Structure 1
Amino acid sequence: MAVHIRLARGGTKKTPIYRVVVTDQRSPRGGRFLENIGTFDPSNKDNLIKVDEARFNYWRGVGAQPSDTVGRLVVRALKASAAAAPKK
């Protein structure tokens, strides 16, 4: 079974909120998923994506492939969290 990490759309008309889910590659966009590991709110410019990094790294370790969009968003979130961390 090919497992992917991708976005599943939720929210209301014209105000989408996405869930970052781990799912079988053949499942539809809003269909069944194995695990919900985060959220993405495109209308919120301060904190774009919230992802459980431990679960994200676990699924990557067992072979799950993130979609292009999820990969870019997670990299951006990690850079933002590293910049916000206090320097020693």
Structure 2
Amino acid sequence: MLKIRLKRYGRKKQAIYRIIVIDSRKRRNGRALEEVGFYNPLTNETKLNIPQIEKRINNGAKLSNTVKNLLHNIKNI
């Protein structure tokens, strides 16, 4: 099963995340199938490729709770 979840980057205590599509059995920072967004919690900057995310959801990918909240916040702005 495919999941859309976060991949951690950045230094210690200065995390930056990429939003990726990956097989659910792979580790958190494993090789992603596709990168569909970016999230910086320190500056609250978010960039999402919403059409690509919706395409993956329609093909059966599941969202992690954090990505679901990010997507919900972007659509309500």
Residue in structure 1 matched with residue 65 of structure 2 by the alignment: 68
CA distance in 2, matches of 1:74, 1:11: 22
The 8 Å contact of residues 49 and 74 in structure 1, kept in 2 or not, is answered as no
CA distance in 2, matches of 1:15, 1:74: 22
CA distance in 2, matches of 1:79, 1:50: 15
Matched length:
77
Residue in structure 1 matched with residue 10 of structure 2 by the alignment: 11
The 8 Å contact of residues 37 and 55 in structure 1, kept in 2 or not, is answered as yes
Q: What value does the CA root-mean-square deviation take over the aligned residues? A: 0.8
Q: Which runs of 5+ in 1 are unaligned?
A: 81-88
Residue in structure 1 matched with residue 49 of structure 2 by the alignment: 52
Matched residues, percent identical?
Answer: 35
Q: In structure 2, the residue corresponding to 1:70 is in which secondary structure?
A: helix
Once the two structures are superposed, what CA deviation does each residue of 1:28-86 show, in whole Å capped at 9, x if it has no partner? Answer: 001111000000000113xx421101100110010000001100111001112xxxxxx
Q: Which has the higher strand share?
A: 2
Q: Which runs of 5+ in 2 are unaligned?
A: none
Normalized against structure 1, the TM-score is what?
Answer: 0.83
**Where does structure 1 differ by over 3 angstroms across 4 or more consecutive aligned residues?**
none
Q: Which has more radius of gyration?
A: 1
